[in-house]
Amino acid sequence: MKHDIFSLKGKVAIVTGGNQGIGKVVAGYIADAGADVIIFDKNDATAVAEEIAEEYGVRTGAIICNVTDPEDVKKAIGEAAEKMGTLDLLFNNAGICLHKDALDCTPKDWLKVIGVNLNGIFFVAQAFGRYLVSNGKSGNIVNTASMSATIVNIPQGQASYNSSKAGVAHLTKSLAVEWAEKGIRVNSISPGYIMTEMTGTVRKDWRDFWVSTIPFKRMGKPEELAGAVIYLLSDASTYTSGCDMLIDGCFTAV
Ligand code: NDP
């Protein structure tokens, strides 16, 4: 390539929720694009970080961090900056799902989902944004929203999840506008049904129904999200902010 616009060489990327699923796979691709990677997860992701370092020859690290706790997040950002020397990119991806009808959803259920998926995304983005601004740096954020931000999934009831992801999509635009002049771009990806630990344990009849309604007639793989994340984190997208990329096998097109 004459113009190496998709390269992440020389950058340090945080990946939240990177101990498994989408975060783990995409973290490997971010490393393959040249970035050093530090994983934040509620579980110890040291083994994943070591695997990525060995496979792609980049520097990696892992920090245990609960994204619902702003103090924990602030501490993790400080530790990550110290360990890696600097921070440039954030794949803000940790999330949970709850399949429960709205009539049965308890206040605790609701607050748990909103706590991880919306509050957690905000706390990490805010701490990362503060780090960039206080260090006079530019940077890029990609939040993981979902096609559930714009459509209502069936047959399962998941109002808390859908609402949290709609919040992420609009938070993305809000931060993109607020931080445009600070040189911080903020975009999101909205995956359709992706085969991970999160979806792997869902009732088979539901998964069969989902597949029957996806024009591609299959669920996506985590690696099929990597190109979009790298594009949005890299200099290939320098005029793009506040954008949501749907990657859903045409699900929302029908
Ligand atoms: P997984 O459950 O496979 O992975 C999520 C990771 O995030 C896990 O390691 C999980 O740890 C971690 N995590 C959960 N809560 C916290 C927390 N409070 N603080 C830090 N880390 C946490 O999910 P996916 O990889 O499938 O999903 C990743 C993202 O993609 C989520 O935001 C999800 O909503 C979104 N998404 C997924 C889709 C799919 O079909 N899979 C579709 C659309 C969007 P633990 O296992 O202990 O909970």
In a domain, 7, yes or no: no
Q: What pLDDT is attached to residue 222?
A: 98
Of 29, 161, 193, 231, which one is the catalytic site residue?
161
CATH number of the domain that 112 lies in?
3.40.50.720
Rounded CA-CA distance 168/170 in Å is 5
In a domain, 89, yes or no: yes
- In the annotation, is 161 catalytic? yes
**Smallest Cα–Cα separation from 8: which of 118, 139, 98?**
139
In a domain, 5, yes or no: no
In a domain, 41, yes or no: yes
Helix (H) or strand (E) holding 81: helix 70-84
What is the tally of structural domains in the chain? 1
- Name the residue of 144, 162, 198, 214 whose CB sits within 8 Å of the most ligand 1 atoms, as the mutation to test its pocket: 198
Q: Report pLDDT digits (tens) over 180-201.
A: 999 999 999 999 999 999 999 9
- Structural domain boundaries enclosing 176: 12-246
Q: How many helices (H) and strands (E) does the chain have?
A: 9, 7
Is the shortest distance between the CB of 96 and ligand 1 below 6 Å?
yes
Rounded CA-CA distance 13/103 in Å is 40
- In the annotation, is 241 catalytic? no
Label the pairing between strands 36-41 and 139-144.
Answer: unpaired
Is the shortest distance between the CB of 158 and ligand 1 below 6 Å?
no
Please identify, by atom number, the ligand 1 atom nearest to the C-alpha of residue 94. Answer: 7
**Smallest Cα–Cα separation from 251: which of 228, 219, 223, 203?**
219
Closest residue by CA, ligand 1 atom 19:
66
Please give the model's pTM, rounded to 2 decimal places: 0.98
In a domain, 166, yes or no: yes
Q: Where are the alpha helices (DSSP H) in 85-158?
A: 107-114, 121-134
How many C-beta neighbours within 10 Å does residue 228 have? 20
In a domain, 128, yes or no: yes
Average pLDDT per 10 consecutive residues for the chain, totaling 254 residues: 94 98 98 98 98 98 98 98 98 98 98 98 99 98 98 97 98 98 98 96 96 98 98 98 98 97
Q: Contact 229/26 with Cβ under 8 angstroms?
A: yes
Closest residue by CA, ligand 1 atom 7:
17
Structure tokens at 178: 């607020």
Centre of ligand 1 to C-alpha 164, Å, is 13
In a domain, 203, yes or no: yes
- Name the residue of 14, 19, 22, 98 whose CB sits within 8 Å of the most ligand 1 atoms, as the mutation to test its pocket: 22
End-to-end CA distance of the chain: 36
In a domain, 1, yes or no: no
Helix (H) or strand (E) holding 38: strand 36-41
Rounded CA-CA distance 37/13 in Å is 5
Rounded CA-CA distance 125/191 in Å is 19
Q: What pLDDT is attached to residue 1?
A: 82
